[in-house]
Every structure is written in structure tokens, then in C-alpha cells.
Amino acid sequence: FGNPETTTGGMALKFYASVRLDVRRIQSLKHQGAVIGNRTRVTVKKNKVAPPFRQAEFDIMYNEGISRAGDLLDLAVEHDIVTKRGAFYSFGDTRLGQGRENSKIFLQENQDLFLVIENQILEAANLPQRAESIAAST
């Protein structure tokens, strides 16, 4: 009858906390057989300062932190900027790689392409472009 997980510290913590997050590892990320990070889902359980019950998924890479290339790739596929056919990711005529991890590595090694894709995502979301990428493109 309900969620068997409880928050330690009594009932007061549930009432006085402004923000409560549920952080879960949903997948281990592997590259050439070695685990290099985790795919993580964060769910907002309670929020007094913004809308609650939102979810976010991102990659936490060991010795790196949250992967910007992984977020960029996910957003680019979501906005139809990068096409995904089976396991292959491509941007226009440029093949980024086979598999998500290889595509992330390709984007990290090719910063010019990373900035072009990032600007297209910002444009699709009606957000201003980054200043350093504007200067680099002119």
C-alpha cells in the first residue's frame, strides 16, 4: 500500500524541505566493455519554488561530471537536428558515429561541429546564441 521507501529523520523533513529530489541510476554507460558513467534520472518530488513533478535524464561520467556532449546529442535528436537511424547518428552529411558513446566522443573531439549543433538547438528553442560561438562563426 504505497511506496515502501521512506525518508529518514521523521515527518518534519518532509514538511520543511523546500525541494526534494529522487535521484536514480537507470543505466550503466559502457565504452569498449568498461563502465565509464551512469545514465541518471532525477524526479522532483516536492518543490515550493518552482513546478514540481518534473523529470530530467542526463549522463554522469566518471572523472568528468555531467556530460554536455550527451545532453547536446539528446536535444539535437529531440529537435530533429541530428538524425538517428538505428545505432547511427548523423548531422547532415556528417556521420557522428555508431552508438551514442562514440557519437559523444566525436562531438567532444570536434568542437566546431559541437558549437554549430549547439547554436541550432538554441535557435530552435528561441534562445540567444552563445557569444563565443557567434564570434567563432564570423
- Report d(CA 68, CA 89) in Å as an integer: 17
- Residues of the chain with pLDDT > 90: what percent? 64
pTM: 0.77
Asked if 102 and 41 sit in the same domain, the reply is: no
Asked if 43 and 100 sit in the same domain, the reply is: no
pLDDT of residue 137 exceeding 80: no
The mean pLDDT value for 15-38 works out to 92
Minimal CA–CA distance to 30: which of 99, 108, 76?
Answer: 99
Q: Which domain holds residue 103?
A: 68-138
Asked if 111 and 61 sit in the same domain, the reply is: no
The mean pLDDT value for 39-60 works out to 94
- Alpha carbon 43 to its chain's center: 14
- Report d(CA 5, CA 8) in Å as an integer: 10
Cα 5 to Cα 1, 33, 45, 93, 129, distances in angstroms? 11, 33, 13, 49, 43
